Amino acid sequence: MGSALYNYVNSGELKPEGDSDLEGIGIKRLTANFEGAPVDRAIRATDAQAIAMAHWLLEHEGIFVGGSSGLNVVGAATIAQELPEGSTVVTILCDGGGRYLSRMFDDDWMRQNNFAKGQPLDAILGDR
């Protein structure tokens, strides 16, 4: 939610819908590495899903990432559920969790912003 690029891929218009607490999600311009890229589709996910995935990755895989990486894994897992068994999906873990110690890895911040920890993977991904 909040990504202008989501709407750009689906409608050709750089217009965000909603809002995001994740840094960099609301970018309203095409960057050189994105412009002209062969994008098949965009997937919408929430901050809650991205943050929950970052916590899940730390707890279950020992991978300490930030919200953007959590968001990428939500997208990759969503695509993986649609593909035949044995398919390969690749994503980029583009940020580390260390920058988020006072936010998404802080229990008080999580409570104040109504984000849950310890969710099972199927609850994070929801009905897709």
pTM: 0.86
Query: 124: exposed, middle or buried (C-beta count within 10 Å: 0-12, 13-18, 19+)?
Result: buried
Same-domain pairing of 111 and 94: yes
Confidence of residue 26 (pLDDT cuts 50, 70, 90): low
Same-domain pairing of 62 and 123: yes
The whole-chain average pLDDT of the chain stands at: 89
The domain in which residue 2 lies consists of: 1-42
What are the pLDDT digits (tens) for 31-53?
898 888 888 888 888 899 999 99
Which structure tokens are listed for 28? 């309203």
Same-domain pairing of 54 and 90: yes
Same-domain pairing of 2 and 55: no
pLDDT of 78 reads: 94
Same-domain pairing of 38 and 63: no
Same-domain pairing of 33 and 82: no
Same-domain pairing of 23 and 56: no
pLDDT of 24 reads: 66
Residue with the larger pLDDT of the pair 101 and 18: 101
Helices (H), 19-120: 47-61, 67-82, 107-112
Same-domain pairing of 50 and 96: yes
